[in-house]
Amino acid sequence: MNIEYYAKMIERGDYIAAYDYIISHADGSQETKDVISNCLNMIAEQYAYQIRESVRSGEMQSAKLMQDEFHSKYGKHTVVDQFKLDDISVTNSMPESQISSFIKRYKKEIGIAVVAIVIGLVVLNYKPQQNSDYAEGAADTTAVDTNSAASYPDEYEGKTVDTSLVEGTTSQESNSNNLDFLKELKGKYPYEAKLFNNSIFTQRLKNLLGNSRYNFLIKTWAVETPMAFANNIFLAEGCQEHNCAGTNFIIAVDFSKDVMYAGIREEENVETYSEDGSTSTEISDWAGNN
C-alpha cells in the first residue's frame, strides 16, 4: 500500500476513496482482514445510528433507503438488520434531489467513522496534531482523555476547521454571556465548530451535568451528527465510538426560555437534565428511543 497516497486522500477529506483504496490493496494478511472487519463494523454502526435517528424523526423512507444501501454494498449485518424495515418501500413520493442529498449527507458521516478505525490500525504513528487550546476549555476536567475525538484537533482527520466560526464564538463571549452563536452552527459538526472549546457553552453544560458526568461526556463523545437549529431550539448529538446504540448523548438549548437540557444514555440507564426543571420534547423523544 502506498501510505503517502493514502495520507493525501485523508488530508483532502476523501474518506470513502481512502476506504476503497484499502480494500483494493488488501494483501490477505490477518492484520488487513482485521482492519477491514473493524471498518465494516464501524460502518454498520454508523448506518444503524443514522437509521435510528431517521426512524425517531418519522423519516421511514430515509431509514429504509439507508438500510437498502448498506445491504447492496456490504450485505447483511446484525447491527443494521436489527431494524425491521422490510415492509417499507421507497416510492416516487420522495424527490430524487432529496434522496441524493440524503445519501451525500450520510456518506460523509460514514467516511469519518471509517477513518477513525483505519488511521489507528493501518497508518502506524499517523495522528493529527492535537489542539492544545482544548485544555483551556476544560481546565478542571483532569479525567478528560486528550486523545478522544472531543479534543478537536485543528485538522480532524483531514477535514479543515472553519476558523471563522471560532472567531465568531470569541466575539460572542466577549460581548455577552449567552449562547446566541449556536444559532449559526446549523449543519456544522461539533468538532468543526470547536463547540466544546467555547467557555460559555462548556461552563453551562458542566453546571448542568456536574463535573463527573461532564467529564464522561467529553471523554466518550466521538461519533457525531451535524448540529441542528429549528423552532428556536438547538440540538447536538453524539455517541461512543463502536457503541453508538449503547452510549449516546444529546444536548439541547431552548432559546425561547434560555434553558439548556441534556441527556446521557448508558445501555438501559438514561439520565436527563434541565437547568430549570422543565421538560423538553426533544429530550423526552430521545429518552424514549430504546
Using CB atoms within 10 A of its CB, is residue 262 exposed (0-12), middle (13-18) or buried (19+)? buried
- For 149, the grid coordinates are 475525538
Report CA 74 to chain centroid distance, whole Å: 22
Residue 256 pLDDT = 95
Tell me the chain's radius of gyration from C-alpha atoms. 19
With beta carbons less than 8 A apart as the criterion, state whether 79 and 44 touch.
yes
Q: Is the pTM of this model over 0.75?
A: no
pLDDT in tens, 10-31: 565 555 666 677 788 778 788 7
- For 195, the grid coordinates are 463547540
Compute, in degrees rounded to 10, the torsion defined by CA atoms 229, 230, 231, 233: -30
Closest Cα to residue 104, out of 65, 77, 72, 71? 65
With beta carbons less than 8 A apart as the criterion, state whether 127 and 119 touch.
yes
pLDDT in tens, 256-282: 999 999 999 998 899 999 999 999 999
pLDDT in tens, 36-77: 676 677 677 777 888 888 887 788 888 889 888 888 888 888
Scan for cell 467529564, then name that residue: 215
Residue 94 pLDDT = 41
